[in-house]
Structure 1
Amino acid sequence: MATGTSKQQVGAVERGNRRPSKKFAELADKALDAHGGLLNLWPGAKQTQPWWLEKFVELEAKAQIINEFQAQAIPGLLQTEGYARAVMSAAFPPPVPHDIDEMLNARLERQQILDRDRPPLTLFVVDEGVLRRPASGKSVMREQYKHLMAKAELPYVQLQVLPFDRGVHAAMDGSLVLLTMTHTESLVYAETPGSGQVISDSQIVADCHQRFGALRSLALSPAESLDFIASL
């Protein structure tokens, strides 16, 4: 083949199961006379986000339902520009300002899925610590609280707060995102320091759905959660 790889390997790249090499992207671009179009789509060509996050963002944009629990920060889809900049600036080693600007633009672009004519149904559970941890100054947090309350009023967004006084819970080992792609396909996305992975194993996905259900039942109701955020 023109790319020097087997049909099986090409199929794995097309399905998103295999990360293409830069050489593959270059050969495929040349073979199809794409004039740099395919090469620009190569994960390594985009420096704003690592390739594993790019893969998740692509799936997130296609999901019908998004269930997300966050224990450390406001979910990316609900962050204000000021809050997102503060979170990105806190990384270590410190990123350069130009990189922060590019990452910020990419995150704000992700949020456009909530403005579509047919947005995904999004259900969020956030730990109380997420809301109490200050990012930058009081004005940034005040803006973030107001933004959360506005988004939570949308018919396809549901936000619940998991307060400290509920004690330990089913996701003490970290945050998680569940993507329902179709009525028969769901995926789990989880991050570790410096990386992230999309999990399709049916048993793990089923366990995470049960875990998220347990978190929702333990959390404040959507109305109670809005009152809690307003009190902050």
Structure 2
Amino acid sequence: MPSRTNAAERAAIVQFGQELRRLRELSDMSQKQLGVQVGTSKQQVGAVERGIRKPSKRFAELADRALEAHGGLLNMWPGAKRTQPWWLEQFVELEAKARVISEFQPQAVPGLLQTEGYARVIVSSSFPPLAEEETERRLEGRLQRQQVLSRPDPPLALFVLDEGALRRPVGGKEVMKEQCLKLVEKAQLPHVQLQVLPFERGAHSAMNGPLVLLNMTHAESLVYAEAPGSGQVIMDAQVVADCHQRFGALRGLALSPAESLDFIASL
């Protein structure tokens, strides 16, 4: 593996290799057969799959074509310019296809509901600090994600916000005022339901952090879990079922949508 890559780049190389192997095996193709199609050896294909060799863009293009990935593999090429961190891109693609989005946030307003001013402060607060170009790229990606709620066939979006996310003065009074007004505006949409979980309700089932659930079909759901610098899509049926029950408990404990709007307006 290249010695001068940083941790994020190395992780992207490993992710590319894992996806390459998954697609190759789905296509019932050997490493040697794929190597012939992309103009390299079986050993080099294996090295890319194990994450010890960074693929060239040409390799990614030819492999994407050979495995009929329709751009999916090429988009994961480690050298691609990204508007989102590599570990968030899979989730963003799934989020755009979901029929129902259920999200609990204890610390910050959900990305789909953030104003540009609020989002800029959040992105700029990253540590280690981001370069200005990277900050703008991530901000652009975050705002692009919000189009999922304004398209002609939007998903049903259910949000529960902890009171702490509304009390924290991100960016100062004016930024928070604008943010609260946007929350009230978005909550008026027929496919958006917003609830506030007030401090006075005490302990709850998601004290350990945020919770994001995506219903892709009536029978298929998944959970997205995020930690500093990484994220993971979880499809284990038991984990998903437990998280659905947890989110249902949060909604039952939170203020009603009407009460929540009154609460936000009071801020």
Alignment length, in residue pairs?
222
1:123 is aligned to 2:158: yes
Q: Deviations over 1:27-46 (max 9, x none)?
A: 25136499xx6775125213
- Aligned pairs (5 A) from 1:119-158: 119-158=154-193
CA distance in 1, matches of 2:159, 2:50: 30
- Aligned pairs (5 A) from 1:67-86: 67-86=102-121
Contact 2:84-2:142 within 8 A present in 1 as well: no
Q: CA deviation at 1:51?
A: 1.8
Q: Partner letter of residue 212 of structure 1?
A: F
- Aligned pairs (5 A) from 1:86-105: 86-105=121-140
Structure (1 or 2) with the larger CA radius of gyration: 2
List alignment gaps of at least 5 residues for structure 1. Answer: none
Relative CO higher for 1 or 2, CA cutoff 8 Å, sep ≥ 6? 1
SS of structure 1 residue aligned to 2:55 = helix
Q: CA deviation at 1:95?
A: 1.0
SS of structure 1 residue aligned to 2:212 = strand
* TM-score using structure 2 length: 0.77
Q: 1:38 to 1:54 in 2, by over 3 A?
A: closer
CA distance in 2, matches of 1:43, 1:68: 29
SS of structure 1 residue aligned to 2:186 = helix
Q: Partner letter of residue 257 of structure 2?
A: P
CA distance in 2, matches of 1:27, 1:13: 19
1:26 is aligned to 2:39: no
Q: CA deviation at 1:127?
A: 0.3
Q: Percent identity?
A: 63
Q: 1:12 to 1:123 in 2, by over 3 A?
A: farther
CA distance in 2, matches of 1:9, 1:172: 35
Q: Deviations over 1:164-195 (max 9, x none)?
A: 00000000011010000000000000101111
CA distance in 1, matches of 2:133, 2:21: 39
Q: Partner letter of residue 229 of structure 2?
A: G
CA distance in 2, matches of 1:96, 1:130: 26
Q: CA deviation at 1:19?
A: 10
Q: Deviations over 1:93-149 (max 9, x none)?
A: 111221111111101100001111110000000000000001112111000000000
In the alignment, what sits opposite 2:9? Answer: none
* TM-score using structure 1 length: 0.88
CA distance in 2, matches of 1:224, 1:158: 12
In the alignment, what sits opposite 2:39? Answer: none
Runs of 4+ in 1 over 6 A off after TM superposition: 18-21
Shifted more, 98-107 versus 122-131: the winner is 98-107
RMSD of aligned residue pairs (Cα, Å)? 2.6
Q: 2:76 aligns with which of 42, 61, 73?
A: 42
